[in-house]
């Protein structure tokens, strides 16, 4: 039976992973700062903004990547730390562009980058539209993070691959997964945007199924399965381990996103760093929302239809919608689904027969990803 | 003395380069279409939109990359065609994001992607803001092109590098240039956005110098120098050839962008595919604009200050500004600078002592890039 690790230590900090990934990120940003300085010192705020964003990350994807590698016998060292850091840069790109696409004003309890740059524009009395300037800065910062992510990933394989025992075949297989992760995340994001625009009515699928498909590609594969598989594949994991990683990853990834959806509606702003009800104002087509719509009576449906996606939904409106999620049983059903996916993730892990430390951390990460409040 | 090639053939079509790059692009998009189809058939319009965009490209960057390779003795074949195609995908990403940042409605004579998707949203009566939906689609399509560009570049080196005689050192050097190109283009784009917002008054530089610095990083290095250097470096060109490529590339790249700036104000919309005066309405801080401002009297300065960046500048307003560019001598001075840079590009090419066909095509490309009307 898999044993949890030291209860006093976050599983994200075992082997000082978070701190060591930060060291890699600092080195990457220092290198890039020199390239931007050649273009002009006034471009450096882009690097600073990226640095602030990545400093606040939970580092879930690096953790899954690292323990996918370690679980398949990969040695601790530069290669996997740099690969793990590349995933954090990719996540930064996704967040920067996501916030522009959603017009989100906050991220991790601070102004989102496009907001911060729009405010700087306004404060200086510059020409043109401040929001448009903020969008441009955040789009370009996201593009930089996308490039840097790939640069760090490919550079790690080219420079440290041989020393870490990763031969050309494994490099190619790992790169294929990295490429697939990127393409399918972006397609998943588009599916999400499309679901909001069409209110989940597109493609002849039932809305709960549309929302689950968005979760699968936008969250489960990207946050858990692909990072695990990239680490495992680079370490040469046998097929049975990779299958277990997929089973664990897809189940845990779904549970992770369902928890995110619940927090988006019921979370405490002081802990989530996001204003209460932001997901509701954005009109996110989550499984929680789709379940509530499926079970709503006429009055409840009218409340949902009016409130969701309404930018001026106030505190009372948010409270009324919370009641609908409870009264329809959509909240309870979502919690039931989280519990079921957590059970499946644990079962897949038990079956995988990984080394003790990796198995223990991956077990603890189930808790971290699904029992959180922020 | 370098001889031009067959006058009946565009230098872009020597060795059927444009058609052969298109074949690679079609294969790439077919592969990606399968990955998106796994996510959902309703994401496929993203691939179709990218396909339409790249089909209309001039293929200048692939040409410079190919002839930089061929000029250094690189053999014709899959490696360089795929590397050349990767640059066209990178350019597609830059255009997609540029049009969102500039809020440009047209590209290559058609609706820009974000406009086309906004119109589809409106036509279907979908929820939410149509423009925001269009922006999201174009941001994600640009992100896809960025990933695919890198996937094609790295894949070409990994799969065809050895067969084409490109060893690990050259691969690393070529990849470093590719990475530098991406980072410095994006920083150059930010510099451009910043110059528009601050009207060229930032960073204690004289406005004409700010505009030249934008040209250098946003255009000269990216369009000509880096593609040439990537091709040359992969082929193992000696330092003297790489220096000649830089001299030719920076001079021709500056002339190319100055021609673009002149066409942005004086070009025929039927040929450029852009409405007359779009650059003026966007308030682009070009060298042409900075020269006019430097030489303007009070009346002319007032016309420029009011008209530049004004979204409702009409045909009469555009005509009045054209007169200012002529009367101040800014147009003549820009043409003089184009002529001077063309002379330098040719001189660098003469000094490089390249094989006849490559030298001839690169000579013809000077004409293509600077004497064009579209």
- Give the per-residue pLDDT at B103: 92
Coil, strand or helix at A107: strand
Q: What is the 3-state secondary structure (H, E, C) of A76-123?
A: CCHHHHHHHHHHHHHHHHHHHHHHHHHCCCEECCEECHHHHHHHHHHH
* A270, two tokens: 């002081």
Report the alpha-carbon distance of residue B223 to residue B32 in Å, rounded: 26
Q: How confident is the model at residue A101 (pLDDT cuts 50, 70, 90)?
A: very high
Q: Does B193 touch chain A (CB under 8 A)?
A: yes
Report the alpha-carbon distance of residue A363 to residue A134 in Å, rounded: 41
Q: Does A182 touch chain B (CB under 8 A)?
A: yes
- pLDDT of residue A203 exceeding 60, the answer is no
Answer whether A175 sits within 8 Å of B187, measured CB to CB. no
- Give the per-residue pLDDT at B201: 64
Q: Does A43 touch chain B (CB under 8 A)?
A: yes
Answer whether A121 sits within 8 Å of B197, measured CB to CB. yes
From the list A186, A185, A24, A15, the residue with the least C-alpha distance to A89 is A24
- Give the per-residue pLDDT at B304: 95
* A216, two tokens: 């699968």
ipTM for this model? 0.95
* B102, two tokens: 């500039």
DSSP string, B197-227: HTTT-GGG--HHHHHHHHHIIIIIIIIIIHH
Decide if A357 contacts A5 (C-beta within 8 A). Answer: yes
- Give the per-residue pLDDT at A204: 66
Coil, strand or helix at A106: strand
Q: Which among B136, B189, B198 has CB closest to A140?
A: B189
Burial string for B298-314 (b: 16+ CB within 10 Å, else e) reads eebbebbeebbbeeebe
From the list B64, B101, B97, B83, the residue with the least C-alpha distance to B221 is B64
CA angle A91, A96, A101 (to 5 degrees): 120
- Give the per-residue pLDDT at A271: 86
Q: Does B46 touch chain A (CB under 8 A)?
A: yes
Please state the separation of Cα A63 from the chain's center in Å. Answer: 12
Which residues from B are below 8 Å from A93, CB to CB?
A: 143
Among A37, A190, A210, A282, most B C-beta atoms within 10 A, so best to mutate, is A190
| CA dist B342 → A221, A371, B54, B364 (Å) | 52, 65, 28, 11
Q: Does A162 touch chain B (CB under 8 A)?
A: no
- Give the per-residue pLDDT at A77: 96
Among B33, B99, B154, B211, most A C-beta atoms within 10 A, so best to mutate, is B154
Residues with Cβ within 8 Å of B33's Cβ and at least 6 positions away in sequence, in order, are B44, B47
The model's pLDDT over A43-96, given as tens digits with 9 standing for 90+, comes to 999 999 999 999 988 899 999 999 999 999 999 999 999 999 999 999 999 999
Q: How many other β-carbons are positioned within 10 Å of the β-carbon of residue A367?
A: 12
The A residues from 275 to 304 touching B (CB cutoff 8 Å) are 283
- Give the per-residue pLDDT at B216: 93
Please count the residue pairs, one from chain A and one from chain B, whose beta carbons lie less than 8 angstroms apart: 186
Which residues from B are below 8 Å from A162, CB to CB?
A: none
Which residues from B are below 8 Å from A46, CB to CB?
A: 187, 190
The minimum CA-CA distance between A234 and chain B, rounded to whole Å, is 16
* A345, two tokens: 């993730």
* A254, two tokens: 């779904």
Decide if A195 contacts A202 (C-beta within 8 A). Answer: yes
Decide if A211 contacts A165 (C-beta within 8 A). Answer: no
Q: Does A212 touch chain B (CB under 8 A)?
A: no
- Residues (pLDDT < 50) of chain B are none
Report the alpha-carbon distance of residue B220 to residue B254 in Å, rounded: 5
Which residues from A are below 8 Å from B148, CB to CB?
A: 183
Residues with Cβ within 8 Å of B165's Cβ and at least 6 positions away in sequence, in order, are B74, B75, B236
DSSP string, A148-211: HHHHHHHHHHHHHTTTTT--HHHHHHHHHHHHHHHHHHHHHHHHHHHHHHTTT-GGG--HHHHH
Place of tokens 């323990």: A67
Answer whether B183 sits within 8 Å of A147, measured CB to CB. yes
Q: Does B207 touch chain A (CB under 8 A)?
A: no
Q: Does A310 touch chain B (CB under 8 A)?
A: no
Among B43, B215, B307, B311, most A C-beta atoms within 10 A, so best to mutate, is B43
| DSSP state for residue A74 in the 8-state scheme | P
Report the alpha-carbon distance of residue B140 to residue A191 in Å, rounded: 11
Q: Does B151 touch chain A (CB under 8 A)?
A: yes
Helix (H) or strand (E) holding B107: strand B106-107
Q: Does B183 touch chain A (CB under 8 A)?
A: yes
Report the alpha-carbon distance of residue B346 to residue B349 in Å, rounded: 5
Answer whether B186 sits within 8 Å of A147, measured CB to CB. yes
Q: Does A32 touch chain B (CB under 8 A)?
A: yes
Q: Does A42 touch chain B (CB under 8 A)?
A: yes
Report the alpha-carbon distance of residue B152 to residue B86 in Å, rounded: 5
Report the alpha-carbon distance of residue A321 to residue A244 in Å, rounded: 38
Answer whether A143 sits within 8 Å of B97, measured CB to CB. yes
DSSP string, B116-163: HHHHHHHHTT-SS-HHHHHHHHHHHHHHHHHHHHHHHHHHHHHHHTTT
The number of helix segments (H) and strand segments (E) in chain B equals: 17, 2
């Amino acid at each position: 039976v898999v044993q949890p690790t030291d209860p006093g230590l976050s599983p994200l900090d075992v082997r000082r992973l978070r701190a060591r990934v930060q060291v890699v990120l600092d080195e990457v940003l220092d290198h890039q700062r020199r390239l931007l300085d050649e273009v002009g010192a006034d471009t450096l705020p882009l690097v600073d903004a990226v640095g602030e964003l990545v400093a606040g990350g939970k580092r879930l994807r690096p953790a899954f990547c690292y323990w996918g590698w370690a679980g398949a016998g990969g040695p601790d060292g530069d290669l996997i730390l740099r690969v793990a850091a590349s995933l954090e840069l990719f996540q930064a790109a996704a967040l920067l562009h996501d916030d522009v696409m959603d017009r989100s004003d906050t991220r991790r309890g601070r102004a989102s980058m496009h907001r911060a740059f729009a405010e700087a524009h306004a404060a200086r009395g510059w020409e043109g539209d401040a929001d448009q300037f903020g969008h441009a800065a955040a789009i370009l910062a996201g593009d930089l993070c996308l490039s840097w992510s790939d640069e760090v990933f490919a550079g790690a394989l080219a420079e440290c691959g041989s020393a870490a025992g990763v031969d050309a075949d494994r490099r190619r297989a790992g790169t294929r997964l990295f490429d697939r992760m990127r393409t399918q995340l972006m397609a998943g994001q588009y599916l999400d945007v499309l679901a909001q625009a069409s209110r989940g009515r597109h493609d002849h699928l039932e809305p709960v199924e549309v929302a689950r498909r968005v979760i699968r590609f936008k969250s489960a594969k990207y946050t858990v399965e692909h990072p695990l598989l990239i680490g495992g594949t680079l370490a040469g994991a046998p097929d049975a381990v990779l299958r277990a990683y997929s089973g664990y990853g897809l189940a845990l990834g779904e549970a992770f996103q369902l928890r995110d959806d619940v927090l988006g509606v019921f979370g405490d702003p002081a802990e989530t760093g996001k204003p209460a009800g932001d997901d509701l104002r954005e009109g996110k087509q989550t499984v929680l929302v789709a379940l509530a719509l499926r079970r709503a009576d006429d009055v409840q449906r009218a409340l949902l239809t009016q409130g969701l996606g309404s930018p001026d939904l106030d505190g009372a409106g948010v409270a009324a919608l919370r009641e609908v999620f409870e009264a329809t049983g959509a909240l309870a059903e979502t919690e039931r689904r989280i519990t079921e996916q957590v059970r499946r993730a644990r079962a897949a892990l038990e079956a995988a027969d990984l080394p003790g430390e990796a198995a223990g951390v991956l077990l603890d990460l189930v808790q971290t990803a699904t029992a959180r409040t922020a």
